Structure 1
Amino acid sequence: MALASIAIASSNPLYSSLTLPTSRGRGGGGSTRRRRTHCLKITGSSLAGGSALFQAAHHTVDTYIKSGMVIGLGSGQASDMAIQYIGLQLGAGALKDIVGIPMSIACASEAAKAGIPLGHYEYCSQIDFAFDDADIIEEGTLISVIGRTRNEGEESIIQEKSILNAANKLVFMITENQYKSGPDGSIPVLVNSLNWMQAAEEIDDLFLGDAEVWRRPSIGIAGPKGGDFPLVTKEGHNVLDVIFTSPILSLNEVSKSLDEVDGVIDHGIISKFPCTAVIASESGLSVVDNLPKNAVKEP
């Protein structure tokens, strides 16, 4: 893939250049609008002991969460560690008057054990900040994919996306191998149960040669029809896994294409602005955002 290098002008040596993919194709290209991203490097020598994701979780809480906030609580390994750390900060008095809005039953349980007061999400809810794990994040755009591996019908991609999109500020915590140009793998798609096969066939035709479409099972082995026990979400939808067999050149174009398919309710692609990715590696953390170059950052 052709790459265009964009250097971030700054006298601060912590800022580095990034490469952004040029836009192409339908599963790939089109005229995807690109934003400059800023990358802050935090070296391993400046971090205390602990795993890289542990450090990403603590950095996220220490940097972005303030007393009095309403916080969207995500799911996953890094999110669980952030939830536990918030609980410790509340217990120590370093944070006060925090209200957590859980994105899943699992994270609600973790938050309750950590002693975080919980609220219920409504579509008019004000959410000051949200954090979450992501399955993959597209380099340059920070468009992400969630919901690849969940099998429980009571978990809701719709609820998770609603909370993430409602947040004034959003941070994803990931490892360096989850941040890439030309991401691959599956995209979960929610479809009406009654006409799921029609939607699946249309999606299959849409990405013919680039992806396979399987209905996700609740138990047993996945396949085009999801076996005898297809997964049904708590909203009553089936989940199709659109499994790309080659790199996805543009998640934005894939998202647009899926939105046009009759019977598609939602999918696991999130395009959020502003958005920040805290990327964990053995050498330290990289903090990347998609703010305009001259925008004033708020913690």
Structure 2
Amino acid sequence: MALALLGTMCAVLPPALSAQGEAPDAIKVAPASPVQGDTLIVIVAAPPPAAVRVRFDGDAVPVFSLPDGQRRVLIGTTPDVATGGHTLSVTVTEGTKAPQHYSQTVRVRSGHFGVRSLTLPPGTMDLVSTKNLDTEWRAIGPVLARRTPVAYWSGPFQAPSTAPIDSPYGVESVYNGHREWWHQGADFAGAEGDPVVAVNAGVVALAQNLPLGGNTVVLDHGQGVLSEFIHLSSFTVHPGDRVARGALIGRIGATGLVTGPSLHWGLYVNGRWVNPLFWLDPHPGLTS
């Protein structure tokens, strides 16, 4: 993956951030040239008790601690995030010292997403109702709001199925001639009953049948990162279970809003559905 970064120092960073107090040593942002759907990784070398605040286009984003004392921020991008420049700002406060500010422009490139057109029978399309959407959100909303302070995952994620992907992330979804939404994950064209495994370590946050997702499992990987697996024929885990990378969590099915056996894997990062395939590769500060 390639992010063009234009850095502008607004103030001198405190010496605790790096030996020379230079921004590149104190604050690292990756990937170097992100596209829509990528996850931005911000590492700030400001160990406690320094306070660190980060904003992206003016919106506050969660800051988490790493075992080595550094801070990490994960910012999800989506097809709805405009291409071009975005402002990343970091504020570091040490004790009674004046806050130190750093601002940088992050340029996001187009993900060049396609379009998928699906024809659904009336009974299936009827599932997209206000009542079902409300039911779905009442169950899934509080789960996606979790911000567990520790990271359970380590290393690159693995695909939840060995089946081929037949519907990629980000494509515009057109149902029966009407645009509904962009695809918020990746679909695997497996057979009914094929195994579905945990993409990385985590805690089961939800295992429930929902009107649109059908049999649904959500894993909390920590630090605002959650995986959703939907349309399962069955699940083998329960809320609160700790699972390891590669552990069986369910089987592919055709439950909910789906045209046939399929597995949808969505990855939610601090409020945004990102491209889960980005997490299959090693990225310093994230999966390596």
Query: Which structure features the higher share of helix residues?
Result: 1
- Relative contact order higher in (CA < 8 Å, ≥ 6 apart): 1
Do both proteins adopt the same fold according to a TM-score greater than 0.5, normalized to the shorter chain?
A: no
Query: Which structure features the higher share of strand residues?
Result: 2
Q: TM-score, normalised by structure 2?
A: 0.28
Q: TM-score, normalised by structure 1?
A: 0.27
